[in-house]
Amino acid sequence: MSARRILIVGGVAGGASAAARLRRLDESAQIVVFERGPHVSFANCGLPYFVGGEIPRRDDLLLHTPDSLWQRFRLEVRVKTEVVAIDRQARTVTARDLTTGRQSVEPYDALILAPGSVPLRPPLPGLDRPGHFFVRNVPDVEQIRHWITTRSCQRAVVVGGGYIGLEMAEQLHRCGLAVAVVEALPQVMAPLDPEMAGWLHRELRAHDVALHLNDPVTAFEEPPDPATAQASVVCLRSGTRLPADLVILALGVRPEVTLARQAGLELGTLGGIRVNEHLQTSDPHIWAVGDAIEVRDRVTGQWTLLPLAGPANRQGRIAADNICGRPTRYEGSWGTAILRLFRLTAACTGANEKTLRRLGLPCEAIHLHPGSHAGYYPGAQPIAMKILFDPHTGRLLGAQAVGPEGVDKRIDVLATAMQAGLTVDQLADLELAYAPPFGSAKDPVNLAGMIAQNVRQGLVQHAQWHEIPRLDPARTFLLDVRTEAERQQGALPGSVHIPLHQLRQRLHELPRDREIIVACQSGQRSYFAARLLSQHGFRVRNLTGSYRTWSAAQESPAAAPPPSSSGNG
């Protein structure tokens, strides 16, 4: 019996992982990887950091070369080779060498598609002008660095406020350029809810990055004088005109499905390749992984596109297992992701509130602002956290966190809790490592669980930041229990000030015919006040996250408040 021949279209995360796993499982298989670009395995998540010089050498981005993959795994890798057709009946692909133009027909027993994604290219006038760059591969970032140095660039415009856009904004700022970020939505980082994205808006402005939100690009015009702009004048819907020596186009990506469509493979409603739980396409001899496929959202059950390296790596491994007769399921993704932006880290896992409300799923949102480690140990930094859960079952639905430190490990714990099926109530009982330099005896994850427990047990009801502008003074009394010094730094509009330590002595000043919403700086003291007032017969809700969350939300223009839900406000 001859050895199986397994072909892989595309390298990088999904394809290269599949190839290496296949070899570990089957020493006799003939494995051929076709890669359209010049590099088969590179750190695409590290590309922005090469532009800024944090990764100093181009070769540091190259994880493997065709030679190293042959030496280690006996993988045949053909770079600068594009697969242009699949004959499913004959089980062959047609590959074209992009250097010589020569075509060959290659038979397969199993085929893995890992073609990745392609940048969105909206039909904007001037999009393809010189000095406009996408950030998809090593040649892209080499060209960006060359353009910056040879043109002595001073001003950059980044179009798009997602992961790549913000990472590039940070790195271009590191290069000494004046940077503007343009985003068509009212916020950057769409996976975050607006009040959480507000912290990133504040951080960008603190580093003199001009932020143009809710203001899409309408055209890229030729500059009247190269001395004023070497790339283009970026025109926005508002009429703003931004001269740019360099433009980064980070408008998002779409699945690269040309080959799959031409081969008649089933595509999903979102435009990605449709696969089953074993990552098998509608053809039983063809598997697909990575950015090009649709996967199940583990929270909502909906199909989604998730162009992230972590899931792509796991998918490559799972596809290889199934090809080699080791039945393995891909259950979907939580969408766990993280970003560094100057001094802040932002991370998320699971669904955001916008998605849950849009789908009509019951959810409760809580906000907290714990320290990254014990407050009495020097250097503790606040973390803004948001937890979403089903108020009926306690199921953890999503989490977001932003802060200078300690964000990564909290999101990883929460992502693990979601994978394990823990409820928010069980978070309170997690036994997590504690020493003053690293955390607190009540870790932020524990605190999140305790707050959720209080809600589910009926000890407190919450108000949300987006309710504040809509409050009716005839029905609601907004109470601020902070100190006078805190209040002088900013206050909720229409609030009445009674410090927490004076509250018991001043109960007679509070109305009994109106609901009281209590706020403090972060939500803890207002919770204490809410418990006190409820036991004295007042109708009361605690403003979750309180002033810090509300003030961060003000950094997001035109942030639409979520519609009412079946949660406790």
Residue 563 has pLDDT above 80, yes or no: no
Neighbours of 509 (CB within 10 A): 12
pLDDT band, residue 562 (cuts 50/70/90): low
Q: Give the residue-averaged pLDDT of 249-253.
A: 95
- Please identify, among 233, 251, 269, the residue that sits at the C-terminal boundary of a domain: 251
Give the angle 193-198-202 at the CA atoms, nearest 5°: 160
Neighbours of 558 (CB within 10 A): 10
Query: Do 466 and 451 belong to one domain?
Result: no
Query: Do 102 and 69 belong to one domain?
Result: yes
Residue 569 maps to a domain: no
The pLDDT value recorded for residue 250 is: 97
Q: Give the residue-averaged pLDDT of 219-239.
A: 93
Dump the DSSP string for 62-92.
Answer: EEE-HHHHHHHH--EEEESEEEEEEETTTTE
Encode pLDDT of 537-550 as tens digits. 999 999 999 999 99
Query: Do 307 and 359 belong to one domain?
Result: no
pLDDT band, residue 12 (cuts 50/70/90): confident
Calculate the alpha carbon distances from 83 to 6, 265, 287 in Å: 14, 15, 15
Calculate the alpha carbon distances from 407 to 12, 168, 329, 373 in Å: 28, 21, 30, 11
Q: What percent of the chain is helix, strand and coil (3-state, nearest 5)?
A: 30, 25, 45
Q: Give the residue-averaged pLDDT of 6-29.
A: 94
Residue 398 maps to a domain: yes
Instruction: Please state the domain count of the chain.
Output: 4
Separation CA 205–CA 110 (nearest Å): 51
Residue 559 maps to a domain: no
Cα 514 to the center of its chain, rounded Å: 41
The pLDDT value recorded for residue 42 is: 86
Query: Do 259 and 111 belong to one domain?
Result: yes
- Report the side by side order of strands in the sheet with 232-236: 217-221, 232-236, 241-244
The pLDDT value recorded for residue 558 is: 59
Residue 569 has pLDDT above 50, yes or no: no
Query: Do 417 and 499 belong to one domain?
Result: no
Q: Confirm if 290 and 317 have CB atoms less than 8 A apart.
A: no
Q: Give the residue-averaged pLDDT of 281-307.
A: 96
pLDDT band, residue 8 (cuts 50/70/90): very high
The pLDDT value recorded for residue 74 is: 94
**pLDDT greater at residue 302 or residue 569:** 302
Query: Do 24 and 47 belong to one domain?
Result: yes
The pLDDT value recorded for residue 566 is: 36
Query: Do 379 and 234 belong to one domain?
Result: no
In CATH, what number is assigned to the domain containing residue 488? 3.40.250.10
Query: Do 98 and 170 belong to one domain?
Result: no
Residue 1 has pLDDT above 60, yes or no: no
The pLDDT value recorded for residue 565 is: 41
pLDDT band, residue 341 (cuts 50/70/90): very high
Residue 410 maps to a domain: yes
- Please identify, among 456, 471, 502, the residue that sits at the C-terminal boundary of a domain: 456
Residue 449 maps to a domain: yes
Domain that includes residue 489, residue range = 462-553
Encode pLDDT of 548-559 as tens digits. 999 999 998 755
Residue 122 maps to a domain: no
235 catalytic? Reply is no
In CATH, what number is assigned to the domain containing residue 217? 3.50.50.60
Encode pLDDT of 481-525 as tens digits. 999 999 999 999 999 999 999 999 999 999 999 999 999 999 999
Query: Do 264 and 302 belong to one domain?
Result: yes
Query: Do 413 and 360 belong to one domain?
Result: yes
Return the bridge partners of 310, or none.
none
Whole-number mean pLDDT of the chain?
95
Residue whose structure tokens are 């799972």? 318
Calculate the alpha carbon distances from 349 to 255, 256, 352, 413, 527 in Å: 22, 25, 8, 10, 26
Q: Confirm if 540 and 503 have CB atoms less than 8 A apart.
A: no
The pLDDT value recorded for residue 493 is: 95
Residue 444 maps to a domain: yes
Residue 25 maps to a domain: yes
Separation CA 523–CA 480 (nearest Å): 11
The pLDDT value recorded for residue 281 is: 98
- Please identify, among 456, 481, 500, the residue that sits at the C-terminal boundary of a domain: 456
Residue whose structure tokens are 């790596």? 313
Residue 369 has pLDDT above 70, yes or no: yes
Query: Do 428 and 449 belong to one domain?
Result: yes
If residue 305 lies in a helix (H) or strand (E), which one and from where to where?
A: strand 303-305
Buried b (16+ CB within 10 A) or exposed e, 354-377: ebbbeeebebbbbbbbbbbbbeee
Query: Do 432 and 509 belong to one domain?
Result: no
Calculate the alpha carbon distances from 432 to 439, 446, 563 in Å: 9, 9, 36
Identified catalytic residue from 45, 153, 324, 348: 45
Residue 376 has pLDDT above 60, yes or no: yes
